[in-house]
Structure 1
Amino acid sequence: MLIKFFCPRWGSENLSWDAFCHKAKKAGYSGIESPVSMLTDERMEMRAALVKHDLRFIGQYYQSFEDNLELHKIEFEKHLYNILELKPILIDSQTGKDYFSAQDNKELFELALRISNESKVVIAHETHRNKALFAAHIAKELLFQNPSIVITADFSHWCNVSESLLEQQNDAVEVAIERTVHIHARVGHAQSAQVTDPRGKEWEAELSAHLNWWDKIVKSHLVKNTSLLTITPEFGPYPYMPSIPFTGMPMANQWDINVYMMQLLMDRYKTYFGY
C-alpha cells in the first residue's frame, strides 16, 4: 500500500499557484488539496502549476452556505463538477449541514454518489463541524443509514464538539474508521479543533489519541489491501491558529507544523511505503 501526503492550500493563498506548488514539492508532498476557483483563468493557472511540478490533486468542497435544501443541492452539484474539471484523484467534501434533517443530508449524499459513480472519482464526506457529520454520534447513525458513503476522517472536530477525546464514543469511532478513505491529520482537543502546536508536551495525550485513530485506519486499509491511502496534514491559519492578543501574531508556524506532521507520519508508516 502506498501512503501519499498532500499539502493544504489553506493558509498559503497569498502565494501564486506556481510558488505554492514549488514549495509543496520541495517540502516532500506528493500533491496538494485545495478548492477550485470558478474563474477560468485561475483554474488554468492552477492546472499548469500542478503539471509543472508533477503534483497530484485532491479537490476540496466547503462552500455549503445555503440553508434552503434545493438551492444547496444546485450549488453543491455545481462545485463538484467544477472540481472535476481539474481531474482530482479524490474529492474531500464538507457535505450538508448540522441543522439539516437526516433525510436532507441523505439527499446530498445520494447526489454526491451519483456524481462519483458517473466520474469514477471518490467523494469522501468530511467529519466537520457545522456539516452533516459534525459529531460522532450523529455520524454513526448517518453512516448506518447511508452504507455507500465514505469519509474523510478529521476527528479533531469531534473532539471539540464532544468536549472530549471521544472516550465514551468508541463504537462511533470504529464505524468511522472502517469508512475512512482520506485523513486530515490535525490534532484537536476538548475546547478547539486545533492544538496550538502538536510538538508541545502539553498536548501529548491529544496527539497520542489521534495517532491511535490514524494507526487503526492504516491497519484497516492494509487488511483491505488498498492500493493508496491519502493524508493531508491540515493545521490551519488564524483563527484556527491562536494568535497573540492585540498583535494578531500567530502563536506557531502553520507551514512548519504541517511539514512536521507529514514527517512524523512518514516515519511512523515508513514500512508501508512503496518508494
Structure 2
Amino acid sequence: MTNVKDAGYDGIEASLPTDQKEKEEILSEIKSFGLEFIGQHWETINPTFEEHYKEFEWRLRSLAEAKPLFINTQTGKDYFTFEQNKQLIDLAKNIAEETGVPVIHETHRGKFSFAAHITETYLQKIEDLKITLDISHWFNTAETYLHDQVEAVELAISRTEHIHSRVGFIEGPQITDPRAPEWNEALQQHLDCWDKVIELQRKNNREIFTITSEFGAPPYMPLLPYTKQPIVDQWEVNVYMMTLLRERYK
C-alpha cells in the first residue's frame, strides 16, 4: 500500500477474498494508510442463472459487509435474457438499500452492459440504473468510436457514477501506452467522453467524483512473443493516467 499512497492515489478499487481473516487484514491495511476503498465484483461467472443469482447475492453481501464507498459490479451475462439480467440488477438494488452501500454496474464485455445499444435499452427501462463507464469495452465491441450511436452514449454519460479510465481502441479493450503518439486518437476519444461526464457532475454540484486508472496486467497488456515480457510498465501507465486526469479535472 505504501507505493499506492506515495503515488498520490486517494484509494483503491478491488475485490476481496472470501476468507474472513484475509479480508479483515486487507481492510485493516487500507485503513492504516488512510485510503478509501471501492469494492469490485467480477467473480460471478456461473452460466446457470439460478446458481449465478445465488452466488451474485452472496458475493455482493460479502463486499457490502466491508462498508466500501460503493460496489462496482460486472453484472449478469450477455446471453442472459433482459428479464434475467434485470433480476440481478433488482437484487443489487435491494442489497444496496438494505446495507446502505451503493451498487453500480460496470459497462463490460460479456455482461448485460457489453454494448452501447444494448445498455441503452436497460437505461431506458430501468430509470434508476447507474453505471460505471468503461467505454473502452464499447469501442472494442462496436469496432467504432460510437459516432453513430451518440444518443446511447449520451444517455450512458447521464447515468455515470464512476469511471474506469482504461483506454481501448476499435480492435481491442486496451492500448499499449497512452503516452505514445500513435494512440493519441484513441486517448482523445476517451477524454471527450470523460470530459462530458465531469462537466455534467459539476453542473450537478458534485464535489467528489471517483475514477479508477485501470490499465490491466496480461492478457489485457500485450506481451512480447516467446519471452512473454510486458512491453510497457503497468504501474507507470496507471500513475500517468491518474496524474493526467487529476490535473485535467482538478
TM-score bin, normalised by smaller chain: over 0.9
Shift of 1:64: 2.2
* Residue among 95, 109, 114 paired with 2:75: 95
Measured in 2, the distance between the counterparts of 1:120 and 1:226 equals: 19
Supply the AA of the counterpart residue of 2:61: Y
Where do residues 195-210 of structure 1 align in structure 2 (5 Å cutoff)?
A: 195-210=175-190
In the alignment, which residue of structure 2 is the partner of 1:263? 243
Of 231, 234, 242, the match for 1:251: 231
Q: Among residues 96, 99, 104, which one is paired with 1:116 in the alignment? A: 96
The 1-side partners of 2:238 and 2:117 are apart by 29
Q: Secondary structure at the match of 2:105?
A: strand
In structure 2, runs of 5+ residues without a counterpart are none
Q: Which runs of 4+ in 1 moved over 6 A?
A: none
Cα distance in 2 for residues equivalent to 1:173 and 1:191: 19
TM-score (ref. length: structure 2) = 0.98
Identity %: 45
Equivalent of residue 49 in structure 1, options 13, 26, 29? 29
Partner of 1:85: 65
Q: In structure 1, what is the equivalent of residue 162 of structure 2?
A: 182
Number of residue-to-residue matches in the alignment:
250
Task: Show CA shifts across 1:69-104 (max 9, x none).
Answer: 111111011001111121100111000100001111
**After superposition, what is the alpha-carbon deviation per residue over 1:106-129, rounded to whole angstroms, capped at 9, x for unaligned?**
100000000111122211100000
From 127, 132, 149, give the equivalent of 2:112.
132
Q: CA deviation at 1:147?
A: 1.1
- TM-score, length of structure 1 as denominator length: 0.89
Superposed CA RMSD in Å reads 0.8
8 Å CA contact 1:64, 1:97 repeated in 2: no
Instruction: Give unmatched runs, 5+ long, in structure 1.
Output: 1-20, 271-275
Distance in 2 (alpha carbons) for counterparts of 1:168 and 1:224: 27
In the TM superposition, what is the alpha-carbon distance from 1:167 to its structure 2 partner?
1.4
Distance 1:47 1:197 in 2: 31
Q: Which one-letter code corresponds to 2:196 in the other structure?
A: K
CA offset digits 1:214-245 (Å, max 9, x no partner): 00000111111223210000000011000000
2:178 matched to 1:164?
no
